[in-house]
Amino acid sequence: MAIAGSADSSRVLLRHLREIMAAEGDAQKRLDRIVRLIAANMVAEVCSIYLRCNAEELELAATEGLNPEAVHKTRLKIGEGLVGDIAAHARPLNLQNAQAHPLFAFKPETGEEVYHSLLGVPLVRGGRVFGVLVVQNRTMRTYTEEEVESLQTVAMVLTEMVASGALQDATGLVDRAATLPQRLEGRSLSPGYALGTAVLHEPRIEVKRSIAENIGKERDRLDAAVKALRNSVDRLLDTSHEIMGGESREILETYHMFAHDRGWIEKLRLAVDSGLTAEAAIRRVQEETRARMHEITDPYLRERLADLDDLTHRLYQHLSGAQGPAAEDLPDDAILIARNMGPAELLDYDRSKLRGVVLEEGSHSSHVAIVARALQLPVMGRCEDATDLVDPGDTVIVDAEHAQVFIRPTEDVLEAFRQTLAQRERQTAKYAALRGRPAITRDGERISLNINAGLLVDLRQLDDTGADGIGLYRTELHFMVHASMPKVVEQVEIYRRILDRAEGRPVYFRTLDIGGDKILPYQADEREENPAMGWRAIRIAMDRPALLKLQLRALLRATAGRSLNVMFPMVAEVDEFRRARAILREEVRRAASGGQALPLSLKVGTMLEVPSLVWQLKTLLPEVDFVSVGSNDLLQFFFAADRQNERVSHRYDVLSPSALSLLYWINAQCRKAGKPVSFCGEMAGRPLEAMCLTALGYRSLSMNAGSVGPVKEMLLSLDVGALAAELRPMLSLGERSLRERMREYAEKHGIAL
Ligand code: PEP
Ligand code: MG
């Protein structure tokens, strides 16, 4: 009954609000009428609206009950006093005796000392606080739950008015607040700089009309959207049966549960019954979910609320028929803003128009980040509230070199950034000029520079960089961006195209390194305690040999009449290599007996990524055609420091005497055995590290395409023999890191870093 009462009074309030908005008059007059209306409706002696006037302050914009002289004079910092506290935490405060509250800040000009009880709610949309709506009474009373609900509904409508600019000429304050420049910090997921125009990957819930004209009609619209949502989730769940397992299916089941959840639907209906349009009701319920999300620290519950948030978004899409941005509407300098996205979604966009990506979530190892790095697309992740703070069409700077994003940057920031970009372009031009030049050190050592690739788009880089070949082709990326397991014919087609594009330059295919953090969308995802040391790569291949067999079959077919270089990931024992090679041999036999043309040459090697294999090199080397050092994994296991865990990933330096001694020893063993060794971990792409690797004896490096230019420039200025003589004795120093010494050496000898 009480709730129905609240819906009734909200309805009356909203009807009057609509009349105020429809009537003539400037924004200040409207605000004045609004506060009078709310005060009367809620039987409050005071009703005030505080609006945000800049990033740090709120200003009293209208009041009924407080001293009118204080309007546009009284200001509070965000976090100052009770009103500031409501804004800072974006949550309501309901106090019987406000003056006794430790945060109460006395503003003498307002004359509020006679009022005791206070109910304040934030004007909030997404993460952005636009202001605070407050009612006060002389008596010490506690406002009922229905009153809080009702004030929140009004606040929601007011927020939409303020955000849409309908009240903007009252003070001009809000407009400035909504368009203030912002700087967000996050985590760089793919390096680089970008300047462009914001595009929201998912359309935001746009509430053009908040107050319903016909409640029955709004209820029908909501019910129809809920029905469509349920149907679509049910359909997804039905069709996903064969291809999904584990977590992915669990997510859908959670969606299914929420979509049929009575509490959720009831909340939406109540919001409509209180006089809101269906869109506004969805927004209102979504805000509540988000407010709860901010308070909850349990990661599991947060995830579930995030699912609910996502589902709310889908409901809105059913209501409005809104889709993501159409291809033809994409600006030429698009910066995508999204909560998160999958790699396939990213690839749906026209790469030639994409400049950068900003995500609220995402991690360095997320698939979208891997694909973005392959595309050389700067990506910032963990930028909280980005989708709410950025409006479509805003100018955005993605500075993934310093892990920051500028939204609506000021002219100064833009100018400084343009200079950085120009400097970057000059550098790129300088590296492009080195393209045709072989990487020969000053003392005449030829270093083979190769690129790491994983998608067809990478291959363009072979020509752009003038690299000698592809030192590491991560075949799993194709599998990760496919919605279902690529069939053998599809794989053959991909591998053929890679070889065509390589035009005779060597390509080292690595068989699937899935598991760990690289989960296929159609793979049963069984969470493990330590995925990096879990069931991944060759271990999956040993337990499920069909996958490896089919991949090798495809590789053999694609390389008929050409050279095939193939290597296995995460091999920990010689025996694993032997078993994998036996599967390959079996496939060769099978192909030959079927009369199939075979590769002209076949080289079989292994990645060196697990320390245990280093201690079997003497046995291993006579059996392999080559090895490739994967320092990303090798050194995380060497130091027992998870490469994904930022607390420890930089704790030990790869330029420590211990790591360098290990790498030196590996190279020496390979040389002694006369077996080619290349180096394809990330450190090969950093000039200082690459300098040390060549001094340790490595002559073949493979890296991200963007690193070829800087590494080549370094090599051209290096006397590697002289450095080797200097470095070797340092390996027995008990120092934490040789980085500083190496940097000083480079500076002293004019080596370009
Ligand atoms: C490595 O571990 O160094 C490597 C190149 O493999 P990935 O980064 O794909 O694990
Ligand atoms: Mg690895």
**Separation of alpha carbons 733 and 743, rounded Å:** 17
Mean pLDDT across the chain? 88
Residue 614 placed within a domain: no
Q: What is the mean pLDDT of residues 594-603?
A: 96
Residue with tokens 């709004």, as numbered in its chain: 218
- The pLDDT, as a whole number, for residue 246 is 38
Distance 631 CA to ligand 1 centre (A): 7
pLDDT of 247 reads 39
CATH (domain of 392): 3.50.30.10
Say which residue the tokens 């008596």 belong to. Answer: 139
Q: Is 172 left (phi over 0), alpha (psi -120 to 50) or beta?
A: left
Please indicate, yes or no, whether residues 34 and 135 belong to a single structural domain of this protein: yes
Q: Which ligand has its closest atom nearest to the C-alpha of 453?
A: 1
Same domain, 649 and 722: yes
pLDDT of residue 91: 87
Distance 629 CA to ligand 2 centre (A): 9
| 630 alpha carbon, closest ligand | 1
Write down the pLDDT at residue 344.
62
pLDDT score at 129: 85
Whether the pLDDT of residue 390 is over 70: the answer is yes
- Cα of 606 vs centre of ligand 1, distance in Å, is 12
**Stretch 540-544: mean pLDDT, rounded?**
92
Domain match, 526 and 579 both: yes
Q: How far is the CA of 680 from the centre of ligand 1 (A)?
A: 7
Q: Given a cut of 80, is residue 321 above it in pLDDT?
A: no
- On whether residue 172 sits in a domain, the answer given is yes
Q: Is 692 in the active site?
A: no
The closest-lying atom of ligand 1 relative to the alpha carbon of residue 682 is 3
Closest ligand 1 atom to 681 CA: 3
Q: Are residues 99 and 221 located together in one domain of the fold? A: no
How many domains are there within the chain?
A: 5
How many other C-beta atoms lie within 10 A of the C-beta of residue 497? 13
Q: 367, 383, 478, 692: which one is catalytic?
A: 367
- pLDDT tens-digit series, residues 493-511: 999 999 999 999 999 999 9
CATH of residue 675's domain is 3.20.20.60
Residue of 367, 451, 475, 513 with the most ligand 1 atoms within 8 Å of its CB, for mutation? 513
Residue written as token pair 């005796």:
97
Residue among 365, 539, 632 whose CB has most ligand 1 atoms within 8 A, to mutate: 632
CA dist 465 and 258 (Å) reads 50
Between 136-150, 214-228, 245-259, 694-708, the lowest mean confidence (pLDDT) is in 245-259
Higher pLDDT, 416 or 260: 416
For ligand 1, the distance from its centroid to the CA atom of residue 531, given in whole angstroms, is: 14
Q: What is the CA radius of gyration of the chain?
A: 31
Q: Looking at the domain assignment, is residue 611 inside a domain?
A: no
Whichever domain contains 259, its CATH number is: 1.10.274.10
572 in the same domain as 503: yes
Which of 298, 320, 342 is the endpoint of a domain? 320
Ligand 2 centre to CA of 373 (Å) is 16
pLDDT > 90: percent of the chain? 59
Task: Please indicate, yes or no, if residue 96 is contained in any of the structural domains.
Answer: yes
Same domain, 649 and 597: no
pLDDT of residue 452: 93
Which residue lies with its CA nearest to atom 4 of ligand 1?
A: 630
Residue 753 has pLDDT above 50, yes or no: yes
Query: Mean per-residue pLDDT for 599-624?
Result: 98
Residue of minimum CA distance from atom 3 in ligand 1:
630
Q: Are 386 and 127 in contact (CB under 8 A)?
A: no
Please check whether residue 598 lies inside any domain of the structure. yes
> Which is the closest atom of ligand 1 to the Cα of 630?
3
> Per the domain annotation, does 430 fall within a domain?
no
Does one domain contain both 307 and 331? no
**In this predicted structure, what is the pLDDT of residue 3?**
41
**Structure-model confidence comparison of residues 294 and 61, the more confident one:** 61
More confidently predicted of 345 and 504: 504
User: Which ligand is closest to the CA of 635, given by its number?
Assistant: 1
634, HSE (Cβ side, Cα atoms, 13 Å): 27
Q: CA-CA distance, 182 to 159, in Å (whole number)?
A: 20
Q: What is the pLDDT of residue 527?
A: 72
pLDDT (0 to 100) of residue 13: 86
Predicted confidence (pLDDT) at residue 363 exceeds the cutoff of 80? no
**Using N-to-C axis directions, what is the helix angle for 687-695 and 739-748, rounded to 10°?**
90
Does the pLDDT at position 485 exceed 90? no
pLDDT at residue 174 in the model: 47
By mean pLDDT, which of 265-279, 294-308, 409-423 is the weakest? Answer: 294-308
Give the Å distance between the CA of 685 and the centre of ligand 2. 15
| pLDDT 10s digits, 216-262 | 999 999 999 999 988 887 876 665 543 333 334 555 677 777 778 88
Strands 563-568 and 601-608: parallel
140 and 21 housed in the same domain = yes
Give the pLDDT of residue 244: 37
Averaged pLDDT, 382-400: 92
Give the position, in ligand 1's atom list, of the atom nearest the Cα of 632: 3
Element spanning 429, H or E = helix 411-433
- The pLDDT assigned to 243 comes to 36
CATH of the domain at 55: 3.30.450.40
Ligand 1 binding pocket, CB closer than 6 Å? 472, 474, 513, 609, 630-633, 680-681
Q: Measure Cα distances from 114 to 46, 473, 576, 670 in Å.
A: 11, 74, 81, 86
CB 11 within 8 A of CB 215: yes
The one catalytic residue among 47, 383, 680, 692: 680
Domain assignment of residue 453, yes or no = no
Phi (first) and psi of residue 277, to 5 degrees: -75, 165
Rounded-to-integer distance, Cα 666 and Cα 677, Å: 9
Q: Of 606, 621, 646, which marks where a domain is finished?
A: 606
Same domain as 140, residue 39: yes
Q: What is the bridge-based pairing of β-strands 469-474 and 448-453?
A: parallel
Shortest-distance atom of ligand 1 to CA 633? 2
In the structure, what pLDDT confidence band is assigned to residue 338 with cuts at 50, 70 and 90?
very high
From 607, 610, 634, 662, the mutation candidate for ligand 1 (largest count of ligand atoms within 8 A of CB) is 607
pLDDT digits (tens, 9 = 90+) for 160-175: 888 777 776 555 554 4
Q: Closest Cα to atom 6, ligand 1: which residue?
A: 630
Residue of 583 and 229 predicted with greater confidence? 583
Q: How far apart are CA 345 and CA 7, in angstroms?
A: 41
Q: Which two tokens stand for residue 713?
A: 């420039």
pLDDT for 511 = 97
pLDDT of residue 309: 76
CA 26 to chain centroid: 43
Are 688 and 563 found together in one domain? Answer: no
Range(s) of the domain holding residue 189: 182-202+325-424
pLDDT at 127: 67
**Coil, strand or helix at 346:** helix
Give pLDDT tens digits for 456-470: 777 888 999 999 999
The gap between the terminal CA atoms of the chain, to the nearest Å, is 74
* 634 CA: nearest ligand 1 atom: 2
Give yes or no: residues 227 and 369 share one domain: no
Q: What is the DSSP secondary-structure string of 584-640?
A: HHHHHHHHHHTT---BSEEEEEEEE-SHHHHTTHHHHGGG-SEEEE-HHHHHHHHHT
Q: Which of 267, 289, 320 is the last residue of a domain?
A: 320
Q: pLDDT over 70 for what percent of the chain?
A: 90
Output the pLDDT for position 117: 95
Asked if residue 612 belongs to a domain, the reply is no
> How does pLDDT run across 623-674, given as a tens digit for each residue?
999 999 999 999 999 999 988 776 787 789 999 999 999 999 999 999 999 9
Nearest ligand for residue 510 CA: 1
Query: Same structural domain for residues 333 and 316?
Result: no
